A and B are shown apart, each in its own frame.
Chain A
Amino acid sequence: MSFIQIEGLVKIYRPKGADPVHALDGVDLDVRQGTVRGLLGPNGAGKTTMVKALTTLIKPDAGHATIDGIDVVRDAHRIRPIIGVSGQYAAVDENLTGFENLEMVGRLYHLGAKASKRRAQELIDAFELTEAQNRPVKGFSGGMRRRIDLAGAIFSRPPVLFLDEPTTGLDPRSRLGMWDVITSLVSEGTTVLLTTQYLEEADRLADDISVIDGGKLIAEGTADELKAQIGGQQIELTLMDAADGSVAGEILRRHGEAQPHVGGDGRELSVGVREGPLALERVLGELNAAGIRLHDAGMRRPTLDDVFLKLTGHSAGGEEEQDGEVES
């Protein structure tokens, strides 16, 4: 049963003195109850716009969206009590303590003074912020702020949770901690829409993944389904000498299903192939015959990065590609 239903959602930003930006360009999306949907895309793909439209922060220009059958535009006041939102930037009051921030959120959900205090304490303890709870948030680390923000999002135990890039800007350790928190949240049956630019994150947390680019959905499915879309396996080579790149590339192109991808100073090459082991054997044979020396060679299942590369023609993580993305 779809819990979040989105049909033909369009949002156009019209910056003064610049061309209009189609942040959302007719997006359809269904999220089943109790599942985690990962919305995967680079910066400027429209992920945050999507979250903002669903959480009543902005009005879409066309299309419509419902959560549990409630229209997010027409009945915004009925949406707010059932959603929890944790945005890309921790929405906390710097001058309030961790505890005061959470208590305020509870009071604004109209949970009453006593219940708000009790719940705030419960969350502070669960998120391991007990020691810092009476210090102003100003002095908190990025990870601690995010945890306060996430605690605010789940304060009223909402049936739907929106997490907009929950680990962007966190150090690896905090990111792992955040993943644990999110994993335990979703084990409780909360329906989650999670945006991320990290393929690993979507792979790890989401049941289903929607790939978004330039305001359009370009692929949808489980991580495995998406990986299957781009062919069976990948051959990866690392050359001893980058000068051999063109010859090695030519050999890979003949045995692969697409143009080989070149990275790592021209020394790393990869390509998707059909019959993996056989293709690898042939490639290695030809490389040997051509006298090309290898640092490393192997086969692996494709990652979501390969999926993204195949679908959009650019990598999901690279900064340069992102700039190009915003312009298009």
Chain B
Amino acid sequence: MSGQRTESTGSTDSTHSPAATEVTEAVVGTGLPNAASIPTSVGTWISDGWITTRRNLIKIKRVPDILVFTTLQPIMFVLLFTYIYSGVITIPGSSYTEFIMAGIFAQTVVFGSTYSGSAMAQDLKDGIIDRFRTLPMSPSAVLIGRTNGDLCINALSMVVMMLTGLIVGWRINSSFWEGVAGVALLLLFAYAFSWVMAFVGMSVRSPEVINNVAFLILFPLTFISNAFVPAETLPPVLQTIAEYNPVSALVQAARELFGNVPPGAPVGDAWTQQYPIATVLIGVAVMLGVFVPLCIRKFVRISSH
């Protein structure tokens, strides 16, 4: 019986053969100057990083959810917090709007960094990591492209939030360059955190789990901080946590650089609150120093399924 089947497929074959001839021609190919090369130079490293970054930028363009989430949600937060709580929470010497903006910036960019986690997990699930790993490309390129993608999403969110903030009365009271430094510091912290999340994503391997766990961990982390209320107003235990919370350092650093700290406002005793900018920079160095090598080590060993 199966002998007959083989014969019948043989006859169907002839109806397909025009395409087959074209494929043969394509395999021989006219469009290739030379064989693929082994990546050796800084040039190919930069090129590979750019190609994978572009891949993630196209994704932002094609998947409307990401764009909506990264632009509308920050606007919603700015409006909700400033209009709902500004009557309840008073910040001596300043307005709640001035106070809250750095907190919303920090929370938004930290959440923006979680895309690297779910996207790496999704890539593993889809099997495209296997494709990348069999190509003669730089082993760090996929991760660089991924974290660059988060950086772009976060930069876009920052622009949207800052414009919304300016409309509702937030101002940068420092100099132009301090303002730039504030934005840069927020994005830098988030970029480093993207590498942490990329590692988590490759370890957990489930985009859904990443999203849920990120939500469960990052919501308390950003709320038990000085982001939305002054840390002094928190109960003692939470106050201690808030003072050493890296998010608090980031928020405090951003407030200082934007000139949003009211004169005479109390500053926590913790070193992390006394020197928030240095704390953030050290945190960034530690995250990158530990997780960039860990991520690359993990990447060259993983395989889907």
What does the 1/0 interface line of A91-104 toward B look like (CB < 8 Å)?
Answer: 11111100010001
- Tell me, yes or no, whether B88 is within 8 Å of chain A by CB: no
Q: In the bound complex, how far is the Cα of B141 from the Cα of A48, in angstroms?
A: 25
- Tell me, yes or no, whether B63 is within 8 Å of chain A by CB: yes
- Given A109-B36, A176-B16, A200-B5, verify A94-B126 contact (CB < 8 Å): yes
- Tell me, yes or no, whether B167 is within 8 Å of chain A by CB: no
Q: Which residues of B contact A199 (CB under 8 A)?
A: 2
- Tell me, yes or no, whether A140 is within 8 Å of chain B by CB: no
- Given A58-B303, A81-B36, verify A184-B3 contact (CB < 8 Å): no
- Given A78-B38, A80-B135, A188-B27, verify A96-B55 contact (CB < 8 Å): yes
B28 (CB) vs chain A CBs: closest residue: A188
- Given A109-B135, A181-B20, verify A87-B130 contact (CB < 8 Å): yes
A111 touches B33 (CB 8 A): yes
Cβ-neighbour of B1 out of A77, A107, A157, A300 (below 8 A): A300
Cβ-neighbour of B132 out of A82, A108, A125 (below 8 A): A108
A90 (CB) vs chain B CBs: closest residue: B127
- Given A93-B128, A96-B58, A126-B26, verify A81-B33 contact (CB < 8 Å): no
Q: Which residues of B contact A104 (CB under 8 A)?
A: 51, 54-55
What's the nearest-Cβ distance from chain A to residue B43, in Å? Answer: 9
Within 8 A of A (CB), among B121-152: 126-137, 141
Q: In the bound complex, how far is the Cα of B175 from the Cα of A145, in angstroms?
A: 53
Q: In the bound complex, how far is the Cα of B17 from the Cα of A126, in angstroms?
A: 12
- Given A81-B36, A111-B36, verify A87-B29 contact (CB < 8 Å): no
A57 touches B134 (CB 8 A): yes
B58 touches A95 (CB 8 A): yes
Q: How large is the interface on A (under 10, 10 to 19, 20 to 34, 35 or more residues)?
A: 35 or more
A126 touches B39 (CB 8 A): no
Among A14-22, A116-124, A248-256, A275-283, the stretch that binds chain B is A116-124
- Given A81-B36, A89-B305, A110-B37, verify A184-B24 contact (CB < 8 Å): yes
What does the 1/0 interface line of A222-248 toward B look like (CB < 8 Å)?
Answer: 000000000000001000000000000
What's the nearest-Cβ distance from chain A to residue B270, in Å? Answer: 40
What does the 1/0 interface line of B1-44 toward A look like (CB < 8 Å)?
Answer: 11101100100110011011111111111111101111100001
Q: Which residues of B contact A305 (CB under 8 A)?
A: 2
- Given A95-B63, A180-B20, A300-B1, verify A87-B127 contact (CB < 8 Å): yes
What's the nearest-Cβ distance from chain A to residue B121, in Å? Answer: 14
Q: In the bound complex, how far is the Cα of B151 from the Cα of A106, in angstroms?
A: 25
Q: In the bound complex, how far is the Cα of B12 from the Cα of A122, in angstroms?
A: 25
Cβ-neighbour of B134 out of A85, A112, A301 (below 8 A): A85
Q: Which residues of A contact B136 (CB under 8 A)?
A: 77, 80-81, 108-110
A89 touches B126 (CB 8 A): yes
- Given A125-B26, A176-B9, A180-B19, verify A200-B131 contact (CB < 8 Å): no
What's the nearest-Cβ distance from chain B to residue A136, in Å? Answer: 6
B27 touches A190 (CB 8 A): yes
Within 8 A of A (CB), among B39-53: 39, 44, 47-48, 51-52
- Tell me, yes or no, whether B304 is within 8 Å of chain A by CB: yes
Q: Which residues of B contact A176 (CB under 8 A)?
A: 9, 12-13, 16
- Given A81-B136, A110-B37, A188-B27, verify A100-B32 contact (CB < 8 Å): no
B131 touches A105 (CB 8 A): yes
- Tell me, yes or no, whether A52 is within 8 Å of chain B by CB: yes
Q: Which residues of A contact B298 (CB under 8 A)?
A: none
B14 (CB) vs chain A CBs: closest residue: A180
- Given A126-B23, A154-B27, verify A180-B13 contact (CB < 8 Å): yes
- Given A107-B51, A110-B37, A110-B44, verify A180-B30 contact (CB < 8 Å): no
- Tell me, yes or no, whether A185 is within 8 Å of chain B by CB: yes
Within 8 A of B (CB), among A200-219: 200, 203-204
Q: In the bound complex, how far is the Cα of B130 from the Cα of A89, in angstroms?
A: 10
B9 (CB) vs chain A CBs: closest residue: A176
What's the nearest-Cβ distance from chain B to residue A293, in Å? Answer: 21
Residues of B near any A CB (own CB < 8 A): 1-3, 5-6, 9, 12-13, 16-17, 19-33, 35-39, 44, 47-48, 51-52, 54-55, 58-59, 62-63, 126-137, 141, 301, 303-305
